[in-house]
Structure 1
Amino acid sequence: MEPAAVALAARSSLSSDQRRYLQDCYEAVHAADRDHFRPFDARFHIALAEVTGSPSLASTVADARAAASELLDAIPYLDKNIHHSDEQHAAILQAVLTGDADTARSVMEEHLEGTAALLRGFLAAQ
């Protein structure tokens, strides 16, 4: 659902307020310390869905993020992973802001698969 959301966001005619909102959400997660990274990360993902103009899509992404938060909190914070996530967030934001739906979708798919792989590896080691 998130890959579809970012593709839709990239295809949308975003207002200057929506563009600023996405940029602000990105900057917040980019600047977040370890104690605040996860909430700002979730906020960025939800914001991408919100700017599509579809309340049901935004709600679905928010629900999925809430459901996954406990699992995500189980992943240890590694600077390498946070840096990689930040690079992907920047690429997603850039693709959305430039209207590149295919890249937005592709990078989001890679981003989510990377998170899923971290979860699988961490949970298998438990």
Structure 2
Amino acid sequence: MLDETSRCAAMDKQLEARLAVVRGRFSTRLTERLEQAAIDLPRMTGDQATSAELVAKTYCWIHDICGIASTIGFGAIGQAARACDSVLLGPYRSRRGLETEELNALTTHFERLRLAAEAAQCGTDASRGT
């Protein structure tokens, strides 16, 4: 019985170590993507095909974050990403750029997402209990 308990504890430690690596990579990539999104935001408005393409590209990675973040223990990031997702969904489905109100809302939600990502990198994501 003790052997089994020790083996389970060792497996838990290995899993946690692997998850820490995944969380670190996720946080780093998220920060990089948010920096790029900040550059792309002004170009997501208007009628140009490039605006719609940027909206689609951004929607796809934000949608991925919605599913991944909570799964790996970043609930605050997942919640912030869902707010961004909700703004991008309409323009994405309509294959168009953002309107002014949408741009303003997305800018606000991206800032919240950036703050959540920053907190996660510091190990203070409230949803993880740290």
TM-score after normalising by structure 2: 0.43
TM-score after normalising by structure 1: 0.45
- The structure whose Rg is larger is 2
**Highest relative contact order (Cα 8 Å, sep 6+), 1 or 2?**
1
